[in-house]
A and B are shown apart, each in its own frame.
Chain A
Amino acid sequence: MKPGLIWTLVRTDFKARYHGTMGGFVWALLKPMSMFVVLMGVFSFLFAGNPLYKLNLIVGLFLWDFFAEGTKSGLTSLHARGYLLTKARVPSWILVVTSMSNAVITLAVFSLVIVVFLIAAGRAPSFVALLAFASYGLALMAIVAGFSLAASALFLRFRDLNQVWEVALQAGFFLAPIIYPLEILPERFHFYLYIWPPTPVIEFSRSVLVRGVLPTLRGHTYLAIDAGICLLVGIVIFRRLSPRAAEYV
């Protein structure tokens, strides 16, 4: 463990990305916000019968943005920090895990925005709901971390993996029930959608934040196992590939 290195990587990542200003950080928030405005303009007519559509949409978009940004920067993290990997002995998992930091900061700010949004909409979430939401956030982080560990090591060997992932993300955006309510699909498809990791996180978060309903124990168990498997598989692949990562940078 190198706390000094972890902190410096997080700090400089933020600095390089946003030019060290809060003004730069606003751009990170603006992206999903503008998406929200556009999509709301279009789809709130389509789903006019659903008064919660707006809130569901913003929760879904924020969580999706974290997933997309986190996995994208995680995938290229070892390559982007190859300058350290080839010159000294570095605990390489630190390079991967800290690459999530910008997405985590954005998610944290988003979460505040969502809560403000909910209070403004007269639906202040309970303490239990917030606690549940926080745990879904952690599950999503575990999923992103697992993906990043595996993908960052694989990316060094397969240099078009980032483009493959871009395509997958584009399809995945529509596979997850973000712009449409899950209910418009026949029940028998729901199970398949839940295999795509962002789906349970988004659906459960909506359930506790927007509707104020706690998902079933079965649902929670499923998400915990899902996140656990993602993280574990990521760690296993990373442990196999990372010792030789420096040779592929």
Chain B
Amino acid sequence: MTERQASAGRPIIEVEAVSKSFMIPSVQRTTVREHLLGIFERRGFQKLQVLDKVSFAVERGEALGIMGRNGTGKSTLLKILCGVYLPDEGRVTARAEITPVLELGVGWNPELDAVDNVMIVGSVMGLTLTEIRRGLDEILGFAELERFANLKLKHYSSGMSQRLGYAVAFKAMRDVLILDEIFAVGDVGFRARCETRYRELRAAGHTAIIVSHDPRVIATFCDRALLLDGGKIVQEGPANDIADRYVSTLTAQ
């Protein structure tokens, strides 16, 4: 029996009481010299609680939206879901492969050209080199960057590198797609292509988690949504309701 069969019926991602805080030192020490010079001085820390006992589950095939103002822990939550950050407390159980596009990017090496970068990021996302080589034209085509395949990423505009990021992620996509501020990139044509591809993936039964500030995006592309505030989930429900609530909390201030 495969793992997938064994987990059938259970949520594809389970987040149980996840907390995360960052210690903000009153005096930043990042060098050996500073540590040596300050060895006899006590330094104060300020604890910044970014996530406070957050629990939710994502069902297989569902599209979950996460909304919230800046600094409410959305990006930290995504990083914990992807396994980039460790939670201080709590647990994340992912029963599937996750393909992340975090903070509008996938991590490019500016000194390498698009082809090599796609090779690196694609293999990080779990593609084999053969799969990447076969899919290279498709990836570059999707991003409309065929002409710039051999240009170093440092010469790319931010829009170009973001387009390439989405193109790789859409190609490497396994089970769960995690998108931070999707559809905020590119021109109208590219956005439309992203939306089409996204709908195809959803129709094929893939799960998605989307973070966005845009109530329209959440309402259009998600089934269900969470509203985060101060590191806590303040409301959970149908995407439309949460999008409305988010707009009203913004306008109330």
Contacts and interface: CB of A to CB of B under 8 A. Distances in A.
A234 to B, nearest CB: 18
Nearest to B32: A158
B61 interface: no
Interface string B124-154: 1101110010000000000000000000000
Contacts of A158: 30-32, 35
Interface in B95-147: 98, 100, 102-103, 105-109, 111-112, 116, 119-121, 123-125, 127-129, 132
Contacts of B119: 4, 8, 12
A218 B125 CA distance: 47
Contacts of B30: 157-159
A83 B35 CA distance: 26
B82 interface: yes
B83 interface: yes
A5 B109 CA distance: 14
Interface in A46-96: 81, 83-90
B111 A8 contact: no
A7 B120 CA distance: 9
A134 B98 CA distance: 42
A247 B85 contact: yes
B112 A88 contact: no
Contact of A160 (B33, B84, B127): B33
Contact of B22 (A159, A164, A247): A247
Contacts of A112: none
Contact of B32 (A8, A84, A161, A243): A161
Contact of A5 (B32, B105, B124): B124
B82 A89 contact: yes
Interface in B211-241: none
25 contacts: A2-B123, A4-B123, A4-B128, A4-B129, A7-B129, A8-B129, A9-B120, A12-B116, A16-B111, A16-B112, A81-B109, A83-B107, A83-B109, A84-B107, A85-B84, A87-B103, A87-B106, A88-B107, A89-B100, A90-B124, A157-B30, A158-B32, A158-B35, A246-B84, A246-B85
Interface of A: 2, 4-5, 7-9, 11-12, 15-16, 81, 83-90, 157-161, 164, 243-244, 246-247
Interface of B: 22, 30-33, 35, 79, 82-86, 98, 100, 102-103, 105-109, 111-112, 116, 119-121, 123-125, 127-129, 132
Nearest first, the 9 closest Cβ-Cβ pairs linking A and B are A87-B107, A89-B83, A160-B31, A4-B123, A5-B123, A83-B107, A4-B129, A8-B119, A159-B30
